Amino acid sequence: MGDRGGAGGPRIGVFVCHCGSNIGGTVDCPAVAEYATTLENVVVARANIYTCSTVGQEEIKKQIREHGLDRIVVASCTPRLHEATFKRVGEEAGLNPYMVHMVNLREQCSWVHQGDKERATEKAKELVRMGVARARMLEPLTAQELGVERRVLVIGGGIAGIQASLDLAAQGLEVVLVERLPSIGGRMAQLDKTFPTGDCAICVLAPKMVEVLHTPGIRLMTYSEVREVAGHAGSFDVRIERKPRYVDESKCVGCGICAENCPGGAPSEFDMGIGRRKAIYVPFPQAAPLKYTIDPASCIHFKTGKCGLCRKNCPTGAIDFEMKPQEVRVRVGAIIVATGFDPYTPHVHGYWGYREFANVITALELERMINASGPTRGEVRRPSDGAAPKRVAFIQCVGSRNWKATSNKYCSRVCCMYTMKLAQLLKEHYQDISTSVYYIDIRAFGKGFEEFYHRVRSMAGVEYIRGRPARLTEDPRTKNITIRAEETLLNKITEREFDLVVLSIGMVPSEGTEALGRMLGIPRSPDGFFQEVHPKLRPVDTSRDGVFICGCAQGPKDIPDTVAQAKAAASSAAAMLARGKVILEPTTAEVDEALCEGCGLCASLCPYGAPSLVETGSGKKARIQKALCHGCGTCAAACPRLAITVRGFSDEQLESEMAAALPGEGEKVENGRGVGG
C-alpha cells in the first residue's frame, strides 16, 4: 500500500472491527480493510478482532503516530456504545477527538444481513467509503467546560428517591426531594411483608423515611410538583409548586385531634379505596412528615362554607383555609427521576370481572387487607358479605405479557413473587384456606427466589394451575366466582368455584410520566417507562446529560433492584458533580446572522428551548444557547434561510457522505438545500 495522503491533504486511517463474530461472521473484514486502502486520502487500514480491546486501542494509537494520521474512521459497532472510547483513543494519540468518525458495521450491516456474506461485505465497503468521505470534511472542534451546582433534585419519594437522597446527602451533597403526595414512602409503604425474606415492609422503610426528615442536607418538599426545568447539566433552574395543605406544616404537631372531629371523608387512596379517611388526614400512621392535609374535594368547609370543626379544635391553630399554592425556585446540578409506577387497573379494559363482581380484587387491595395496620386490621374479608374466604384464586399476568393492543407486552417482574408471598401469608393467617394460582409460567429469577417458590408450592393447600383463565362468572346468590380455564398440564377445560379471586396486576408508568419526560427532555421506551442510554453499560443515565433515572420509573422491578439502581443513580450524579465541571459538547447549532431573518421558526420547534430571538443592530436574529442545544438538527433542517448549521454535521460533511454512496464517488448531490454538483 502506498502513502495516499497526498501533500497537504487529509491523512486518514481506517480500522475495521470483527467484533468477534458479530461483524466478522458475516462481513469479510480483511477484504473491507484492503478495499479501504484504495480510497483517496486513506494512508493505512487495518482489521482487528476487537478494536475496543486494549490491543485494538493500542494498534490505533500506533498507526496514528507512525503514519501521522490527522483523522480516523472506526468501522465497528454503534457510536452509542463506543464513540467516547474511540474519541479518547484518538485524543491520547494526539488527535482532536472530533476528528474520529465511526461507521456502524454491526447494527447497520452484519446483524441485518446475516447469511449473505458476499453482499454484506459489499455493503460494508460502501459504508466505509461513505465514512471516509465524511472524515475528509471533519474539522477540529473544542469542548467547553462549565461549573456545577453541588445540589441534586430528586423527583419522587418512594424507596428509590429516598435511597438516592440519603446516599447523596451522605456524600455531602445538598438534596431537594420533591414528592407529589402528602408523605414520602411510595408503594412500598402499602405492602405488608416483602418477598422472599418476609421482612415487614414498613419496618424496613419507616426508619429510612425518618432519616430523610432528620438529615440536614435534605430539603424535603412533599405535596409538591416540579412545574418547569430550564438550564443544563451542572446548572438546572427548577420551578416547584407547593400545593396548599390548608394546614400550616410549621404548626401542625400531628396530634390528629382535627381528624377525630372531622365529619367529612372519602375512600382512602392509600388503602386502595377499601377503608375511608377523613377530609383532613395523614395517608398512613407512619407518614413522613406527620403533617395533616385537607382534601378540599371531601371537606365540608370547601363545599358549603360551613363546618370548620378542625380549625375550632386544632390546639396549635394550624388550619389555614386561605392557604394558596406557593412557587419555589431552586438551582441544581443534577436531577434524579424516581417517580415509580402505578398499579395496572384491570377495569379499564373490562378484564376479569374487576369492578363488576364484588369478590374480584387486586393484589394491592389484598396487601392492604392482610396488613395489620390496614383497613380490616389484617383480616381478609370478601367485599360482598364480609365473610372470611376459604377458597382463593390468584390470576397471574393481569396487565402484563399480553400482546393484545389494549394490554402490556412486558413482564412486570414482581407478580409471580408477590403472589407466592401472599399465598404464604394467607396460609399463615388462615390454616384452613386453600389457594389456587393460575399461571402461564413462573419467573423466579432472583437470589433465593426459586427456593422460595418451591417452599410455597409444596405447602399444603397451595396449588399451581397452568393455564390462563378464559372466563369468570359470578353466582348471583352467593357472589362466588367460577373460573373457566384450560388447564394445559391436564389438557382439559375445567370450571372451579372460588370465594375470592385476586388479580396479580402488573405495573404501568406512573401518572404524568409522559408530561415529565417532555419537561425534562428525556425519552421513554416503547413500554412507556423512561429510557436509559444503554441497558447494560449506562442503565441509569438518560440521553440528557445530568438527568438520571432509577427504580420503577425506568421499568418494573422489585425493591432490591430498585435500591441498587437508586444507589447507582446517586453515585453517577455525585461523580458528575465531584468533577466540579461539565463538558459542553461542541456539536451544537450555530446561526449565521447574516442569513437569519428572525422568523423564529427554530425557537418554536426546538425541543430543548435552545434558540431565542434577540434584537440586534440589523433586526431580530436567532441565537442558540449552546448549553441547552443537543445538536439534534431540528432547527437546521427547518430554517427556511439555511442560516443554521450543526457543527460536526455540516451540509458539506453530509453531502460528501451521501455522494460517496452513489456510483462515481465524489459527485455532489442535489438535496433541496441548494447545493449542486
Ligand X SMILES: Cc1cc2nc3c(=O)[nH]c(=O)nc-3n(C[C@H](O)[C@H](O)[C@H](O)COP(=O)(O)OP(=O)(O)OC[C@H]3O[C@@H](n4cnc5c(N)ncnc54)[C@H](O)[C@@H]3O)c2cc1C
- Name the site residues for ligand SF4 (rule: CB under 6 A): 261-264, 279-280, 294, 299-301, 307-310, 588-589, 602, 606, 608, 610-611, 624, 629-635, 646
* Smallest distance, ligand X to C-beta of residue 547, A: 14
Q: How far is the CB of 453 from ligand SF4 (least distance, A)?
A: 47
Query: Does residue 363 bind ligand X (CB under 6 A)?
Result: yes
How would you classify residue 328: left for phi > 0, otherwise alpha for psi between -120 and 50, otherwise beta? beta
Q: Does the footprint of ligand X cover residue 555 (CB under 6 A)? A: no
Minimum distance from residue 546 beta carbon to ligand SF4 (Å):
15
Contacts 24+ apart (CB under 8 A), 8-11: 9/41, 10/41, 10/70, 10/71, 10/135, 10/136, 11/41, 11/43, 11/67, 11/68, 11/69, 11/70, 11/71
Closest to 552 measured CA to CA, from 538, 577, 569: 569
C-alpha cell at 480: 362466588
Of the listed pieces 78-86, 372-380, 450-458, 508-516, which binds ligand X according to CB under 6 A? Answer: 508-516
Q: Which of residues 584-613 bind ligand X (CB under 6 A)?
A: none
User: Which is nearer to ligand X, 367 or 657 (by Cβ)?
Assistant: 367
Q: Which is nearer to ligand SF4, 238 or 635 (CB)?
A: 635
Quote the least distance from Cβ 221 to ligand X, whole Å: 9
Residues 144-163 as x/- pattern, contact with ligand X by CB under 6 A: -----------xxxxxxx--
Residue 657 interacting entry, from ligand SF4, ligand X, none, C-beta within 5 to 8 Å by type? none
Binding ligand X (rule: CB under 6 A), the pick from 164, 465, 547, 552 is 552
35, interface contact from ligand X, ligand SF4, none, CB < 5-8 Å by kind: none
Strand 12-17 with 42-48, pairing = parallel
Least distance between ligand SF4 and beta carbon 270 (Å): 17
User: Rounded to whole angstroms, how far apart are CA atoms 590 and 139?
Assistant: 15
Shortest distance, CB of residue 306 to ligand SF4, whole angstroms?
A: 8
Residues 322 to 351: which contact ligand X by CB under 6 A?
A: 338-341, 343
- Binding partner at 69 among ligand X, ligand SF4, none, C-beta below 5 to 8 Å by kind: none
Phi, psi of 371 (to 5 degrees): -80, 130
CB of 288 to ligand SF4, least distance (A): 21
By DSSP bridging, strand 500-505 and strand 326-332 are: unpaired
**Quick check: helix, strand or coil at residue 280?**
strand
Q: Please give the torsion angle defined by the CA atoms of residues 86, 92, 98 and 99, in that order, rounded to the nearest 10 degrees.
A: -90
Cα–Cα distance for residue pair 321/300, rounded to 1 Å: 12
Residue pair 412/507 in contact (Cβ under 8 Å)? The answer is yes
Nearer to ligand SF4, 286 or 634 (CB): 634
Report in angstroms the alpha-carbon separations of 578 from 173, 333, 432, 570, 574.
9, 11, 59, 12, 6
Q: Does 570 bind ligand X (CB under 6 A)?
A: no
- Here's the x/- map for ligand X, 86-125, by CB under 6 A: it reads as ----------------------------------------
Closest distance between ligand X and the C-beta of residue 377, in Å? 19
Considering the complex, what minimum distance in angstroms separates the CB of residue 258 from ligand X? 23
Rg (alpha carbons) of the chain, rounded to whole number: 31
Quickly count: other Cβ atoms within 10 Å of residue 152's Cβ. 30
- For residue 238, the minimal CB distance to ligand SF4 (Å) is 20
Binding mask 189-208 for ligand X (x = CB under 6 A): --x--xx-------------
Q: Should residue 63 be labelled a site residue for ligand X when binding is judged by CB under 6 A?
A: no
Cβ-based nearer residue to ligand SF4, 563 or 646: 646
Output the smallest distance, CB 283 to ligand X, in A.
10
- The listed partner (ligand X, ligand SF4, none) that binds 469, CB under 5 to 8 Å by sort, is none
Closest CA to 75 of 137, 120, 139: 120
Contact 368, 375 (CB under 8 A): yes
**Residue 242 in contact with ligand X, rule: CB under 6 A:** no
Smallest gap from Cβ 541 to ligand X, in A, equals 17
Amino acid making up residue 241:
E
Q: Which of 179, 474, 532, 541 binds ligand X (CB under 6 A)?
A: 179
The phi, psi pair for 215, rounded to 5°, reads -90, 115
Among 16, 364, 508, 520, the residue binding ligand X under the rule CB under 6 A is 364
Q: Which is nearer to ligand X, 45 or 366 (CB)?
A: 366
C-alpha cell at 367: 396487601
Neighbour order of strands in the sheet with 326-332: 224-232, 235-242, 326-332
If one asks whether residue 551 binds ligand X (CB under 6 A), the answer comes out as yes
Residue 392 contacts ligand X per CB under 6 A: no
Q: Which helix (H) or strand (E) holds 257?
A: helix 257-261
646 binds, among ligand SF4, ligand X, none (CB under 5 to 8 A by kind): ligand SF4
Q: Which does 225 bind (CB under 5 to 8 A by kind): ligand SF4, ligand X, none?
A: ligand X
Number of residues forming the site for ligand X (CB under 6 A) = 39
Per-residue cell: 307: 363546618
Any contact of residue 180 with ligand X (CB under 6 A)? yes
In this complex, which beta carbon is closest to ligand X, that of residue 262 or of residue 425? Answer: 425
Q: How many CB atoms lie within 10 A of CB 104?
A: 20
Residue that has been written with the C-alpha cell 402505578 in this structure: 342
Torsion angle of C-alpha atoms 204, 207, 211, 214, degrees rounded to 10: 170
Q: Per residue, what are the HEC states of 583-631?
A: EECCCCEEECCCCCCCCCHHHHHCCCCCEEEEEECCEEEEEECCCCCCC
Contact of 246 with 323, CB cutoff 8 Å: yes
Which of ligand SF4, ligand X, none does residue 292 bind to, with CB < 5 to 8 Å depending on kind? none
Tally of residues, the chain: 677
ω into residue 97 within 30 of 0, thus cis?
no
Cα separations in angstroms, 109 against 25, 31, 232, 653 = 11, 15, 36, 22
Residue 444 C-beta: closest distance to ligand X, Å: 13
Closer residue to ligand SF4, CB minimum distance, 263 or 448:
263
Residue of 30, 512, 521, 586 interacting with ligand X (CB under 6 A): 512
From the number of C-beta atoms within 10 Å of its C-beta (0-12, 13-18, 19+), residue 325 rates as exposed
- Contact status: 418 vs ligand X (CB under 6 A): yes
Is residue 177 a contact point for ligand X (CB under 6 A)?
no
- Terminal-residue alpha carbon distance, the chain: 31
User: Which CB sits closer to ligand X, 14 or 176?
Assistant: 176
Give me the least distance between CB of 472 and ligand X, in Å please.
20
Residue 558 contacts ligand X per CB under 6 A: yes
**Partner touching 299 among ligand X, ligand SF4, none, CB below 5 to 8 Å by kind:** ligand SF4
Site residues (CB under 6 A) for ligand X?
A: 155-161, 178-181, 186-188, 191, 194-195, 225, 338-341, 343, 363-364, 367, 414, 418, 421, 510, 512, 516, 551-552, 557-560, 562
